[in-house]
């Protein structure tokens, strides 16, 4: 028989949602027998790879174009750059702080990364930034909405920060003679 909350786990992950360590679904998957079951289940049923860390689970597929993931990476890259420029420890801020929606929008729209922002359809207008935060990030469990238009980030932000770090490392290695 299927594990407890099987349908909720499958639907969540297939919708592109991260299942984070603070959720009961995480513990259901984490049980060693279940993790093996879900790894095989998603591979055989959908051709997806289940990835798990100590902080979250998510699915990846070779068939997606990953435009949304790219846009989320750019969002976090710009936000981290601007937080750092303000003298704030961006890793601590992402992990422990709440941000008002207007504050997040201000960081993006006032960034010096204008070429990157203007070229990105999800960041080039205030309405698009709002939609990215309010819909995409919340739906995927990357951000949590709180009262009074405040947002915090779940541990899933780490995936995008780690990707950016890997990208910087590979570009640095390519630049060396």
DSSP 80-136: HHHHHHTT--HHHHHHH--EEHHHHHHHHHT-S-HHHHHT-TTTSSHHHHHHIIIII
Q: Quick one: pLDDT at residue 28?
A: 93
How sure is the predictor about 31, in pLDDT bands with cuts at 50, 70 and 90?
Answer: confident
Higher pLDDT, 2 or 85: 85
68 pLDDT exceeds 70? Answer: yes
63 pLDDT exceeds 80? Answer: no
Angle between the 67-85 and 157-175 helix axes, to the nearest 10 degrees?
80
Least confident of 22-26, 60-64, 112-116, 129-133: 60-64
Least confident of 61-65, 94-98, 110-114: 61-65
Do residues 133 and 143 lie in contact, with contact meaning Cβ atoms separated by under 8 Å?
Answer: yes
Backbone angles phi, psi at 140, to 5 degrees: -85, 5
Least confident of 12-16, 44-48, 96-100, 113-117: 113-117
Nearest to 74 by CA among 20, 128, 127: 128
pLDDT digits (tens, 9 = 90+) for 122-176: 999 999 999 999 999 999 999 999 999 999 999 999 999 888 777 777 766 777 6
Q: Quick one: pLDDT at residue 170?
A: 73
Do residues 141 and 162 lie in contact, with contact meaning Cβ atoms separated by under 8 Å?
Answer: no
């Amino acid at each position: 028989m299927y594990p407890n909350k099987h349908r909720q786990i499958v639907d969540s992950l297939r919708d592109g949602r991260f299942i984070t360590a603070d959720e009961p679904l995480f513990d259901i998957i984490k049980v060693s027998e279940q993790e093996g079951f879900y790894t095989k289940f998603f591979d055989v049923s959908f051709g997806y790879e289940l990835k798990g860390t100590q902080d979250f689970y998510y699915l990846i597929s070779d068939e997606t174009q990953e435009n949304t993931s790219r846009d989320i990476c750019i969002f976090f890259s710009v936000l981290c750059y601007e937080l750092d420029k303000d003298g704030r420890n961006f890793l601590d801020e992402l992990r422990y702080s709440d941000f008002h929606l207007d504050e997040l929008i201000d960081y993006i729209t006032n960034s010096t990364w204008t070429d990157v922002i203007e070229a990105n359809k999800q960041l080039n207008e205030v309405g698009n930034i709002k939609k990215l935060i309010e819909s995409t990030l919340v739906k995927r469990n990357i951000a949590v909405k709180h009262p009074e238009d405040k947002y915090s980030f779940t541990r899933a932000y780490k995936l995008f920060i780690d990707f950016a770090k890997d990208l910087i490392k590979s570009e640095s290695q390519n630049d060396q003679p």
